[in-house]
Amino acid sequence: MVNFGNESGKDFCNWLASIKLSRIVVMVLVFLILTPLITHFYLSKVERHSYQVEHGAHSHQDLPEDLNYMTEVDLRVGVQELFRIRGSVLSELRDIEKKRQQFKLEIQSYQKNIEELKQELSHQQTSLNQLKISVEQAQVAQKEALQQNSPDLALPKRLTADTLPQESSPLPRNSSRRCKMYNCFDHSRCSLTSGFPVYLYDPDQYSVMNDGWDIDGFLKTTLKQTLGYNPHLTNDPKEACIYLVLVGEALKDTDDVSENVGNHLNLPALDADALKQLPYWGGDGKNHVLLNLARRDLSATSGDIFSTIDTGRAILVQSTFTQEQFREHFDLIVSPVLGPPGGDVWQECASMLPARRNYLLSFQGEMKAKNGMLSNHNVSSDLDKFVIEYLQQLSKSQTQDKFLFEFECNPASDTSNNIGPQDWALCGTDSSRKSILKESTYVLIFAPTQMDLISTTLLQARVYEALRSGAIPVILGGDQIKLAYSEVIQWKRVVIFLPRARITELHFLLRAIPDEDVLLFRRQGRLLWERYLASVQSTLDTVVAVLRDRLNIPPMPAESMTAISVFNQTFQPNQVAITGDTEQEESLGPLEPPYDSPSYRRNYSLFLVQGHEMWNDWGDPLRLYPTLPMDPVLPSDAKFVGSGRGFRPIGQGQGGAGKEFAESLGGNYPREQFTVLLLTYEREQVLLDSIARLRGLPYLNSVVVVWNSPRPPNSELRWPDIGVPVHIVKAARNSLNNRFLPLDNLNTEAILSVDDDAHLRHDEILFGFRVWREHRDRIVGFPGRYHAWDVNTKNSWLYNSNYSCELSMVLTGAAFLHRHYLFLYWKWLPQAIRDKVDEYMNCEDIAMNFLVSHVTRKPPVKVTSRWTFRCPGCPQSLSEDDTHFQERHKCINFFSQVFGYTPLLNTQYRADSILFKTRIPHDKQKCFKFI
């Protein structure tokens, strides 16, 4: 007898039981299959036999032997019994089939439940991973808060003076000539947090003109109005940092305009005694600014009315200065006020293309003295004669370049009475000169022949009109002069300065400049002209900004627009919890409470380290913005050596694939979030669905909906609760420009501008956000478009949405952009463009692309392969109408006319996720599963 062990015995018993069970199952299956077949065969045979008997097909000798002795009744009974058995078997078969179907449905139901449970397990696991990441990030934030040595700086208290200027003894005349900011300016009235308050003496109440003289009424009215828009203006003289005194342009009390031309050359219009009797003069004019702004008198020495008057410690602001009179970094050279009071000035500008115009170089002017004769006592007269002779020979030389030189004015348009002792007079009218300048690539401007003059009103006026027309100024004698606001403006990027002695090199120098640099000169000139010279408003704002910049006092913050809710203060909108699927296929990042981007952190350092860029490139020195897309980046190792606060490096700096990637934001900037900005118009359900899809989206700070309809939303709407604040903002009127309102509740640098019917997956949104963090100065988004040259007309652009290997625009219906561009759209973009958007109810996205490309000179960045966005349940959109595309053709060409060129740049680049289509080990994850 074989003895099995316990375990082997159990296994043997189990084996026997399994064999028995399998045999039983086989027997049951055989019974269930064979029994119906045998029964069916037998019954069919009996039926055939009864049929044959009934119809006489066979004789009784053919029947079985035992049936020959059965009666007809017995046969009938037997047949009936067989029919009963057949019916019973069929009934059982039907029951068995019914049960089989029920079992099959139950199996399918169980399988479905199993799949649902697997998906739920996956979702719960994803949610758990997301919660773990959130907890880890919260712990890191808590640790940073505990380790922080000093709190964040709050807005400092505004400290201003509270007394009037104290009386001081007047300075000796020689001492005032040596004034600098450190010895002639009272810094105690201008604290770092004062905001630089400016007080304006009312020119009607405090006249400083001699009897019989008055200030130009246009200047008085315009300056009072434009200064009223300046945020630095104060009506309290006790808190003022500086005091503005409007001095010129002086006019005699007469109707004869000709008597007012060059009047100051014969009789000083400024009353020195009236100047010293100003109520806050303080005996020496400390912190006073004397504004002598010429407008009509463009003579060589126009505005030089301070040469015989003691102005004490006052700062002089005018267009004309001599070497002896001008005090470096104390007085200020300005351009004459030749522009309109304010508003759009783009129509004054010429197009920046073509780069090479009809004339390579032009000049219109005539050197005369008051008696019409050239004087010989000036040391530069021989050199000037040589210059004129050389230029005349140059214009007659055999060259492909065309020159236009006019050294003798037409008597009918002679303006030689507007000159000083000796200088170049303007020829022709303003309109005739403008037409020549628009045909000139360069324009020649002569420095004053009087060698001790470093600036004249005539010189500044000629630079002004050259920049207005897009002609590049070439100043002969440029080593002698200074241009307006030269302490902050880099004029070498706008003007070519050439010493008189190098006149023979002029043609070679101009020919050596390629088209790219020509357009850089022209573009920079237009930028400076529009920002600082083009209007009375810009001139006055620039004067205040330069004086404030000297003291390192930050400008006033740019005004944001108040976000007014569509609901009143007592109404609480209904909210409903979302229980459906919110795209949790993968863990994409932590769910955190709203974290606002730090703002105004560089108030007191921005102008110190990036002052030249602010004045000459992308900045706006007249306003202070919360953040800029061009803010500097720390080195990679700084986040690990002393400056790690806020940074979330991937894998704590070790890097990693998908898992570590999802746990940390990484990149070159500290942690941040983004705001979704939605524009909607009477598509309530579409809007609610779009908001609901944002539930569970990592790094989402808030959702701001601009309600563009005059009809308020239905009070019964059930707004989805997505875990972050949702603000419904009422628009003043229905306008597509409202898409870019710089609202005060936009608390992050990153803004995701989205149409209410756009459907983006969470991973697509977060991928776009991560790409934008590396291209903060650009538009980063999904739908790409391009501007195509019209080969039929050969003089216009077409808007194109076809598939292409190049693009130049990313539509803001689904794109990230920096909050700073919302301010620029409303504060800097010409009003004519916003008016065109309202006229067509179209093209606001094209306008934003024009703006960003113009500021950065970079194309947008397209992410992933998505091109269009469909919304099957939405009403018909405007973009489906053919007129929509026709209007967009017109918009591109009109915007190009306003900008003077087409700033859009082509790109053949698209951003896809790292590790996209890359084979990686099985224990690693890609950055994004589907991107």
Catalytic residues: 845
Do the Cβ atoms of 848 and 740 come closer than 8 Å? yes
Do the Cβ atoms of 131 and 587 come closer than 8 Å? no
Q: Which of 265, 273, 227, 266 is nearest to 246 (CA)?
A: 227
Q: End-to-end distance of the chain based on CA atoms, in angstroms? A: 69
CB-CB neighbours of 882 under 10 Å: 7
Across the beta sheet with 750-755, what order do the strands follow? 726-730, 700-707, 674-680, 750-755, 814-818, 780-781, 861-863, 910-911
What contacts 286, CB < 8 A, 6 or more positions away? Answer: 165, 168, 184, 185, 186, 312, 313, 314
Instruction: Give me 687's structure tokens.
Output: 């809007």
Tell me the C-alpha distance between 392 and 404, whole Å: 10
User: What are phi and psi for residue 170, nearest 5 degrees?
Assistant: -60, 145
Q: Which of 787, 788, 795, 778 is nearest to 351 (CA)?
A: 795
Element spanning 786, H or E = strand 784-789
Exposure b/e, 883-894, CB count within 10 A at least 16 = b: ebeebbbbbbbb
Secondary structure string (H, E, C) spanning 170-223: CCCHHHHCCCCHHHHCCHHHCCCCCCCCEEECCCCCCCCECCCEEECHHHHHHH
Residue 608 CA from chain centroid, whole number: 24
Q: Which of 779, 680, 782 is nearest to 727 (CA)?
A: 680
Tell me the C-alpha distance between 610 and 633, whole Å: 13
Do the Cβ atoms of 754 and 765 come closer than 8 Å? no
User: What are phi and psi for residue 728, nearest 5 degrees?
Assistant: -105, 110
* Cα distances (angstroms) measured from residue 22 to each of 9, 16, 26, 28, 179: 20, 10, 6, 10, 113
Reduce the DSSP state of residue 420 to 3 states and report it.
coil
What contacts 506, CB < 8 A, 6 or more positions away? Answer: 361, 394, 474, 476, 498
Q: Helices 457-469 and 515-528: crossing angle, nearest 10°?
A: 120
Q: How many residues are recorded in the chain?
A: 931
What contacts 764, CB < 8 A, 6 or more positions away? Answer: 782, 863, 864, 866, 931
Tell me the C-alpha distance between 809 and 906, whole Å: 8
* Cα distances (angstroms) measured from residue 46 to each of 68, 78, 81, 679: 15, 10, 12, 83
User: What are phi and psi for residue 708, nearest 5 degrees?
Assistant: -85, 0
Tell me the C-alpha distance between 459 and 298, whole Å: 9
Strand pairing of 574-577 and 496-498? unpaired
Amino acid present at 264: H
Tell me the C-alpha distance between 294 and 7, whole Å: 113
Element spanning 24, H or E = helix 6-55
Tell me the C-alpha distance between 616 and 613, whole Å: 5
Do the Cβ atoms of 196 and 551 come closer than 8 Å? yes
Taking each continuous run of H as one helix and of E as one strand, the counts in the chain are: 21, 28
What contacts 326, CB < 8 A, 6 or more positions away? Answer: 333, 454, 455, 482
User: Using CA atoms in the order 336, 338, 340, 342, what is the torsion angle rounded to 10 degrees?
Assistant: -30
Burial of 732 by CB count in 10 Å (0-12 exposed, 13-18 middle, 19+ buried)?
A: exposed
